[in-house]
Structure 1
């Protein structure tokens, strides 16, 4: 399962997380699964996913930043055309971002994300589009 906004989080992942446990989990998912095998199946959800597991903001299947995260997911789901329940390979999900988004689109799509100012996702998307 993958939240829609986590497509860009995975694309932009550079090894910096909320905590050591979050970083280990994200490395396992992004580096060892998604990037290692673009055929990895993903199913989109509007609730907590495996990336959320060790997040300090997770509250059961939800998030203590629920409104902000729900807005991120809505914007990304619309931009990538990945409603809850949609299924595809990681490679197809990443291709949607590459084909449909420009780095500057992230200013709107990722508004409110504490990682946006670091520019990691914008830079990673630009690299993939070259």
Structure 2
């Protein structure tokens, strides 16, 4: 079972092998590919730092504890109708994304995210809507 915070549910949709450091990318790729290959993997929704934050580089201010990140987490969980502590499969999360999220929601839910400008998260949501699941990262 993986512990994930709210906004990382969307980050996984747009993940294309880029990240903050080599160690972060390796960790994110491993988790992403596990979910892609086995969407029945269990996820526990957590408040604050999660299994992805564990490998965020320590380079000054700890991004994972920023108030804006907590706000983004809460907004995304609310959009999906989820709550902290809930345990569900990645497949269930994809189903909720299909039901409740439009690609354009990224523009408001993730408006201050550095990665938003790449357009990959909207693309990831469209993939989920078309039943494609997570993209393979090479």
State the TM-score, normalizing by the size of structure 2.
Answer: 0.85
How far the C-alpha of 1:82 sits from its partner, in A, is 1.5
Could you say if the C-alpha distance between residues 126 and 58 of structure 1 is closer, same or farther in structure 2, counting changes exceeding 3 Å? farther
Tell me the equivalent position of 2:8.
Answer: 6
Q: Which has the higher helix share?
A: 2
Could you say if the C-alpha distance between residues 58 and 8 of structure 1 is closer, same or farther in structure 2, counting changes exceeding 3 Å? farther
1:45 pairs with 2:46: yes
Tell me the equivalent position of 2:136.
Answer: none
Tell me the equivalent position of 2:83.
Answer: 83
How far the C-alpha of 1:47 sits from its partner, in A, is 1.5
Task: Indicate conservation of the 8 Å contact 2:98/2:128, yes or no.
Answer: yes
Distance 2:111 2:65 in 1: 14
Distance 1:58 1:74 in 2: 25
How far the C-alpha of 1:57 sits from its partner, in A, is 5.8
Tell me the equivalent position of 1:19.
Answer: 21
Q: Which secondary structure does the structure 1 equivalent of 2:43 belong to?
A: strand
How far the C-alpha of 1:127 sits from its partner, in A, is 2.3
RMSD after superposition: 1.8
Task: Indicate conservation of the 8 Å contact 1:72/1:111, yes or no.
Answer: no
Could you say if the C-alpha distance between residues 87 and 48 of structure 1 is closer, same or farther in structure 2, counting changes exceeding 3 Å? same
Comparing 50-59 and 85-94, the one that deviates more: 50-59
Q: Deviations over 1:17-63 (max 9, x none)?
A: 111111000001011x111101100010112110111112699xx74
Gaps of 5+ in 2: 131-138
Distance 2:36 2:86 in 1: 20
Task: Indicate conservation of the 8 Å contact 2:48/2:64, yes or no.
Answer: no
How far the C-alpha of 1:99 sits from its partner, in A, is 1.6
